[in-house]
Every structure is written in structure tokens, then in C-alpha cells.
Chain A
Amino acid sequence: MASAGVNIRVSNLQKSWGDLKVLDNISFDVAAGTFLTLLGPSGCGKSTALRLIAGLDEVSSGTISIEGQDVTGLAAAQRNIGMVFQNYALFPHMNVRKNILYGMRIRRAPIDTQNRNLARVTELMGLDMLLERYPAQLSGGQQQRVALARVLVAERPLVLMDEPLSNLDAKLRVEIRSEIRALNKSLGITVIYVTHDQSEALSMSDKVLLMKDGKTSQFGTPVDLYKNPQNTFAAGFIGTPPVNLIPAHILDPQVLGSYSCNIADIQVGIRPEDFSLSESATKSGLRGTVVGTEYEGVQTLLTIDIAGQAKVITSTVGAGNIVVGTEVFLDFDPATLHVFAKKDGEKIHRNP
């Protein structure tokens, strides 16, 4: 296929509505063909950022460049992008064929090009039988496929997606998730994808931009974000269940020996799966009572109360046989600890 991706660079992007600053200094730079996810809770500015890249809203300051060309001042239509909206934005009065070809018709693409591209995307998205139907006659998943086909038909090198899966049921979501990922890889197009679902972000992306209150919280690969959360927000947002944040003073001071900071100024994060349960006392010195269990099939989540000082969640494989009220000892590898400043939540690095 002809379309290959483009690289995109965003620098110091800002957006204010009146006095309200909704985007503050967002910068990133991704190579052609990257699957970039803008991730964050609702209201963090991720959709705003996407709309600025699309050219639907005007930036307050900062620049957006595609393939080295500054497109900040260009109209949406001139940026050569495609966009999939959360509610699909299919034209209700046009059938599937007209929906898909709408853009090419406006741009007066030659008829044989239209037909060729239509045949290609309908086969790709499995829409051959549905061309004469109207959007209201399609299921949610089919509507989603039409929306994708409409974006893919014009062979745009950059495709923006604004929470495209949030209206689908869980099973379909996983299915289309992998389809989108496969399209990104097979066509080589660059995708910028907005979601609030961290598992979606982890499973689909090459790069994730985690946002909070209009600012970048962390930018990196999914593995980066999971293994090395740079602040308590990233630690608390990524992973189900997320990182346990506990006060440092309940740990044996020795395990924090390689950090030069005051115990009172820090908190410690441990992933649930980094704990191991033990029946006898351990080096770490953590000891608690199981106060809740949650069976999830592949694992069972245990909520453990540590002397009334903290509650942590850990997991055991399978159904386990630990009942509420059991006393357990928790062990962990000090190398798996994440240490954060209490003041601003930023990561504190180990002494070299």
C-alpha cells in the first residue's frame, strides 16, 4: 500500500480557554509509523491536544510539525490527516459507500481511484456486504469499522483516534484493539490515539504520553511506564491493581539504605506482583493480616493490612487458599522498590 507514516513533532503546545489553561507545555517527537497514545484521566487535556493536532482548534502557543513542515497555522483539511471520533461521526443520511467515499468525492479524486481504494478498504475491514446500508442499520462494531475505513480509504499517513473504542462492549473492544494495532503495523501509518484506559494504552502503543492536568506526567514506552514510573501519578495510574504506595517508616530502614534522603520525606511504591508471601518472618520485616480477597481466575488479589499503618494489595496465583484473617509475612526484592518524594510525588533515584 502506498501510504507510509510521517513523523510528528509537537513542541511547547499550550491551550487556554480564557483564563483556564487546559494544556501546558506538551512536547513530544515520534518517528514515522509510531503508535502514540495520549493517556490520562478525563479532563487531563488529551482530547484537546488531539484536536489541536487535527487543526480543529487553534493553539494558544507552541508548534506542530509533520515531516519537518510547520502545520500549526494550516487548516485541518490541509494537514493530510484522518480522524476517528469517539461516536464515529458517520453521516446518518449517507450509506456506507457514500460515508467512506465522502472525502474523496469532495476532493474530486478520479472515479477509478475511488473505486480501487473503496474495494481495498472494504475488503480490509470486511465491509463488502454492508455498502448499501445506513449507519443506523449497523451494529456498534460495524459502525466502528466504517469509521476506520473512511479514514483509511484516503491513504492518509497520520491518523488520529479519539477514544474510538469506548462505545463498544468489552469483547469487541479487545478484538478491534488488535485490528487497529495490526493496521498501524501493516500500513506503516502513524497513529495518535487518545484513551483513558491504561490497559489499552499498554497493549497497543509504541509510545505513551501520560498526561495529568494538562501537563506531561511521563513520556515513554509502555514498558518504561510500567517498570519505571517517574512519579506517584504514573505509579497509581498504570497497572491493575496499581503500585502500592506505603509510608517509608514501616519498612526496615536497611532496605532503603541506597537512598540518601530523610525517611519522613518519602513514600515507597511496590507493584502487587513484586511482593511474595511467606509464612515466617522475612528480612523486609513486613507483616500483616489479610482483610480481603478477590478471586480473578488467573490470580487472587489479597488486601493486607499492615499493623493499621498501610493497606497493600498483592496477588497469588490461582484460587489460593488464604482466607480473611490469616497473618502473613511479605517479602520483596529491594531492587523492585520505587521511591518517591512526598512533597511533589517525583521519583527519587538510587545512589550510584
Chain B
Amino acid sequence: MKRLNFPLSVILLVVPCAVLAAFTHYPAVKSLINSFWSMGTRRRPSQFIGLENYQTLLADGTLHQIIWNSTLYAIVTIPAAIALSIGMALLVNAKLPGTALMRLSFFLPTMMPMIAVANIWLFFYAPGIGLISQIFVLFGLQPINFLGSASTSLWSMMAVAVWKEAGLFMIFYLAALQAVPPNLKEAARIEGAGPIRIFFDIVLPLLKPTTVFVAVNALINSFRLIDHVIVMTKGGPNNSSALLLYYIFEVTFGYRDSAYGSTLTVFMVLLLGLMALIQFKILDRKTHYQ
């Protein structure tokens, strides 16, 4: 192999390192530092306040509401997206006519940007003129303001997330389903197992490694994706549909409180790290057989 000359190799090394440091490492470290300092204003410069921001965090009632929202969001959307994606994968894996079209239509929501998805669903949910309202009226039911009431806004958002995420997970499950040796199913069939038993006894356990992978991804996404919150509800009404990352965004750029925003960021990073650790510890045990 030809050796690069010295100046060029330094440039090729320094540029990516600089970009990485400036946009990943520096903000991370800066967030950690900021969380120990007060918010600076023109009259009162920023000063070291130790753990005061963290004390605020513990006492923040809005944050409690938002942690509950985020937890509910994760607990509901992850299993729902997994169940739905396994169902869709089974459907498109079966030798039925029109499979290619079905696969495409299941995968389409995943390919669309979240902003577009959220906008489409805004039309579905719109009170009075929206698709769902019209269906309700058609059956003589009272239309609901899905995004406008505190009791339904979070659930409406969850439906959008599941709808969008399931298509991607379906692809993983489809690949895993096609890797299940047909002989195993035949051996079970000869022993007298019906299709439902074969699915629960043979296929589902063999999908476990895929489920671990999907669950970790879904968990990360449940904290990472907030585009639909911004487009559809802006966390409202009364913070009923705000998620943790959205709250950080709002505190930092809405209230311009970068110190408390940094504190929340540190909190979220710790939370995510802890969850990833637990998930790998628990789920990775006895999931790989070969």
C-alpha cells in the first residue's frame, strides 16, 4: 500500500477529530460542567452552585409528570410495536398473493420522515373534519378531540409512534423468520403440533435474539424521537404529552435555561445508560443458542 505523505495524513486525521470533538465531546463535557453552574444573565454572571440544579430537578413537579409520560410511552409503545411487527412479519412471510405490495405498504411509514408522518396524523386526529372524527360521526359517536385533551393526547401520540416504528421492526423479524430452519417446524408438525403451538414453542423462542435487538432499539427511539411531539401537540395540553427529550428542548431553547437543560441532559444520559445496562444483562442471558 502506498504511504500517504505526512501533511496530508495529518489533515485527514485532524479534521474528523476536530469535528468529533467540537460537536460530540465538547458539548457533552460542557453539559456536565454547566449542570454545576447557575444560569448566567447580563446582570448576574454564571457562578458555581454545586448540586443546586440537581436539587431543583428532584423537586420539579413537571419533570415527575414527564418521567411518568415517558415511562408510559415506552411501556406501551415497545411491546405494541413488537407484537404488531411480529404479526406483520408472519403475514408477509406467509405465501399469500400480493406479498410484495403488503411488505411495501407495511414498510412505507418507516421510510417517511417523522415530521411527515406527524402531519398526516394531524389530519386524522383533527376534531370535526379529521378522518377519525368522521368515522365516529358515521357510527353516531361523539367525536373526540384526540390531541386537545389531556386524557387522550399521549395515547394518540403513541399510536403514531407504533404505526411508524413497526414497519422497521417487521423487516428484522421477517429476516429472522426466514432463518428458522423449516425442518424444525416439520419435526414439530409430525409430533402433532398445530400452527399456533409451532409458533409459540418453536418460532417465537428462536426470534428471541431479534426481540432483544428490537427492544433495545425501540427503547432508544422512545427517548430519541420527539419530532411528532413538536409537530402535533408541543407537549400539551398541560404537559400531558411531553416526553423527556422534548422537555429538555423546551427548557433549554424555550425558557433559555441552559443550566437546568444541561442538568436534565445529564440525568437522561444516566437514565439511558442504566437502562441499556439492565436490558443487556437480563435479556442477553440465554438468547443465543448456536
Q: Which positions in A face B, CB cutoff 8 Å?
A: 54-56, 76-77, 81-83, 85-87, 89, 91-93, 102-103, 106-107, 134-136, 150, 154
Question: Given the complex of chains A and B, what is the CA–CA distance between A150 and B188 in angstroms?
Answer: 11
With A85-B183, A87-B183, A89-B184 known to touch, is A76 a contact of B190 (CB < 8 Å)? Answer: yes
Residue pair B289, A134 in contact (C-beta under 8 Å): yes
12 A-B pairs whose Cβ atoms sit less than 8 Å apart in the complex? A55-B190, A77-B190, A81-B190, A89-B186, A91-B201, A92-B206, A93-B205, A93-B206, A102-B191, A103-B190, A103-B192, A107-B192
CB distance from A77 to the nearest CB of B (A): 4
Q: Is B202 located at the chain interface by the 8 A CB criterion?
A: yes
Residue pair A87, B192 in contact (C-beta under 8 Å): no
With A56-B189, A76-B189 known to touch, is A87 a contact of B289 (CB < 8 Å)? Answer: no
Q: Which residue of A lies closest to B198 (CB)?
A: A106
Q: Is B224 located at the chain interface by the 8 A CB criterion?
A: no
- Per-position 1/0 for B186-229, Cβ under 8 A of A: 11111111000100011001101000000000000000000000
Q: Is B290 located at the chain interface by the 8 A CB criterion?
A: yes
Instruction: Provide the main secondary structure of the chain B interface.
Output: helix
Question: Given the complex of chains A and B, what is the CA–CA distance between A103 and B191 in angstroms?
Answer: 5
Residue pair A89, B191 in contact (C-beta under 8 Å): no
Residue pair B190, A87 in contact (C-beta under 8 Å): no
For the complex, count residues of B whose C-beta is within 8 A of A.
Answer: 19
For B290, list chain A residues within 8 Å (CB): 92, 136
Beyond A77-B191, A77-B193, A82-B190, 17 additional contacts (C-beta under 8 Å) are A54-B186, A56-B186, A56-B189, A56-B190, A76-B189, A76-B190, A87-B183, A92-B206, A93-B208, A93-B289, A102-B188, A102-B191, A103-B191, A106-B192, A134-B289, A136-B290, A150-B187
For B16, list chain A residues within 8 Å (CB): none
Give the most central of B181, B183, B187, B205: most A CB within 10 Å: B187
For A89, list chain B residues within 8 Å (CB): 181, 183-184, 186-187
CB distance from A293 to the nearest CB of B (A): 44
Give the most central of A87, A89, A136: most B CB within 10 Å: A89
Question: Given the complex of chains A and B, what is the CA–CA distance between A143 and B62 in angstroms?
Answer: 59
For A81, list chain B residues within 8 Å (CB): 190
Q: Which residue of B lies closest to A103 (CB)?
A: B191
CB distance from A80 to the nearest CB of B (A): 10
For B183, list chain A residues within 8 Å (CB): 85-87, 89
For B191, list chain A residues within 8 Å (CB): 77, 102-103, 106-107, 154
CB distance from B285 to the nearest CB of A (A): 13
CB distance from B127 to the nearest CB of A (A): 49
For A76, list chain B residues within 8 Å (CB): 186, 189-190
For B189, list chain A residues within 8 Å (CB): 56, 76-77
With A106-B197, A134-B289 known to touch, is A91 a contact of B184 (CB < 8 Å)? Answer: yes
For B184, list chain A residues within 8 Å (CB): 89, 91
CB distance from B213 to the nearest CB of A (A): 17
With A85-B183, A106-B197, A136-B290 known to touch, is A91 a contact of B202 (CB < 8 Å)? Answer: yes
For A107, list chain B residues within 8 Å (CB): 191-192
Residue pair B186, A85 in contact (C-beta under 8 Å): yes
With A92-B289, A92-B290, A136-B290 known to touch, is A85 a contact of B187 (CB < 8 Å)? Answer: yes
Question: Given the complex of chains A and B, what is the CA–CA distance between A135 and B181 in angstroms?
Answer: 15
Task: Give the residue of A56, A77, A92 whose beta carbon is less than 8 angstroms from that of B192.
Answer: A77
List 7 A-B pairs, minimum CB-CB distance, nearest first: A103-B191, A92-B289, A89-B183, A77-B192, A89-B187, A93-B205, A85-B183
For B188, list chain A residues within 8 Å (CB): 91, 102, 106
Task: Give the residue of B190, B193, B205 whose beta carbon is less than 8 angstroms from that of A83.
Answer: B190
For B208, list chain A residues within 8 Å (CB): 93
Q: Which residue of B lies closest to A78 (CB)?
A: B192
Question: Given the complex of chains A and B, what is the CA–CA distance between A107 and B201 in angstroms?
Answer: 14
For B197, list chain A residues within 8 Å (CB): 106
Question: Given the complex of chains A and B, what is the CA–CA distance between A87 and B181 in angstroms?
Answer: 10
For B193, list chain A residues within 8 Å (CB): 77, 106
